[in-house]
A and B are shown apart, each in its own frame.
Chain A
Amino acid sequence: ETGVTQTPRHLVMGMTNKKSLKCEQHLGHNAMYWYKQSAKKPLELMFVYSLEERVENNSVPSRFSPECPNSSHLFLHLHTLQPEDSALYLCASSQEGQDDEKLFFGSGTQLSVL
């Protein structure tokens, strides 16, 4: 248990659906992240929120829309996705200002787009 909880664990959706991924951290951290993990590829940073402000948007298509209502919760809203968006979506949190600022990851949502 890393202190970061993601739901759902698995999601299958059609290209015309709208769904949301949820992340909650119980560590009192002030930064939260969305990463995409595809087979044989490095973890790709998608979005970063620091103190509830979006500080990084890594050229992600607009069909992915993040939301950070408070420092403990992070959402990723999905609509009109493509099959190539099928991947593991990982949420992470960290405490900015610490020496190592290590990331604490959730177990991810395995997304399949049909």
Chain B
Amino acid sequence: GQNIDQPTEMTATEGAIVQINCTYQTSGFNGLFWYQQHAGEAPTFLSYNVLDGLEEKGRFSSFLSRSKGYSYLLLKELQMKDSASYLCAVTTSGGSYIPTFGRGTSLIVHP
């Protein structure tokens, strides 16, 4: 089976930087997704990491360490609209590549 762990809730201040961690235990790891979900809306794709290292995309960056079973999502210059749930999801090789999701981290950005 797969075990994906991320914090339930985080708070941060507008303009600051926040790091949301995700750890996973799985066999046949293939890649890791991050999705953003605003309340009442569809989850939307943020990033996909397969190789070790940091991928930067504007204010958002995602990091992966395959050997440590660890990823983080880094959000810079936080804005109020970044208040949302951030979902970590892992795919494994060996048949289907359907992602398995963690519980999500609810991020609250305050002024």
User: Are A105 and B43 in contact, with the CB atoms below 8 A?
Assistant: yes
User: Are B98 and A100 in contact, with the CB atoms below 8 A?
Assistant: no
List chain B residues, Cβ under 8 A from A99: 50
List chain B residues, Cβ under 8 A from A40: 8, 103
The reply to whether the CB of A106 lies closer than 8 angstroms to some CB of chain B is yes
How far is A99 from B89 in the complex, measured between Cα atoms in Å? 16
The size of the chain B interface, using a CB distance under 8 A, is 25
A contact patch SS: loop
List chain A residues, Cβ under 8 A from B48: 100, 102
Interface hub of A2, A42, A55, A105 (most chain B Cβ within 10 A): A42
How many chain A residues sit at the interface, stated as a range, is 20 to 34
User: Are A45 and B98 in contact, with the CB atoms below 8 A?
Assistant: yes
- Least CB distance from B18 to A in Å reads 21
Contacts A102-B33, A102-B48 hold; do A2 and B42 have CB atoms under 8 A apart? yes
Contact with A along B82-102 (1 / 0, CB 8 A): 000001010100001111111
- Least CB distance from B83 to A in Å reads 17
List chain B residues, Cβ under 8 A from A56: 96, 98
List chain A residues, Cβ under 8 A from B98: 33, 45, 48, 56
The reply to whether the CB of A30 lies closer than 8 angstroms to some CB of chain B is no
User: Are A108 and B96 in contact, with the CB atoms below 8 A?
Assistant: no
User: Are A55 and B96 in contact, with the CB atoms below 8 A?
Assistant: yes
User: Are B41 and A107 in contact, with the CB atoms below 8 A?
Assistant: yes
- Least CB distance from A18 to B in Å reads 26
How far is A45 from B101 in the complex, measured between Cα atoms in Å? 9
User: Are B42 and A90 in contact, with the CB atoms below 8 A?
Assistant: yes
User: Are A48 and B42 in contact, with the CB atoms below 8 A?
Assistant: no
